[in-house]
Amino acid sequence: MANAVEIQHPILGKLPIIANWSGPGVKAQSGNGYTVKAVTRGIGPSERFTADLADLDQSTLNIVTGQGGNFLSPYYMDQWKAWYDGTTFILPFSPKAVAAAKTHELTLEPDR
């Protein structure tokens, strides 16, 4: 593969059985030898962000491996397909847009 990217957990990706769940592994990327692409097999973007300065509520964000860093989390790799296929997600900015878009909220309270 001329334009491949390898995304794998640095430790768990070395374990034969767990490696299947700890990342997508080696995947072909679009383009060819004459295409400008800032991706190599081991180096690539950590996210895709586009700011819409005319309307910040229309800005977009996509994290390559998703919102969860733990491979047992339901949010691990939840954004991979969108990143790989070149799609993304709206990133609301204003309090009103955030309230309309959120599906859950985590509130952290310190012990007293």
> How many domains are contained in the chain?
2
Global pTM value: 0.72
Please indicate, yes or no, whether residues 39 and 81 belong to a single structural domain of this protein: no
Please indicate, yes or no, whether residues 33 and 60 belong to a single structural domain of this protein: no
Query: What is the span of the domain harbouring residue 28?
Result: 1-44
From CA 111, how far away is CA 34, in angstroms rounded?
Answer: 57
Please indicate, yes or no, whether residues 53 and 103 belong to a single structural domain of this protein: yes
Please indicate, yes or no, whether residues 13 and 38 belong to a single structural domain of this protein: yes
Please indicate, yes or no, whether residues 30 and 1 belong to a single structural domain of this protein: yes
Say if strands 4-7 and 47-50 run parallel, antiparallel, or are unpaired.
unpaired
- Which tens digit of pLDDT belongs to each residue from 45-65? 788 899 999 999 999 999 988
Q: What is the pLDDT of residue 71?
A: 80
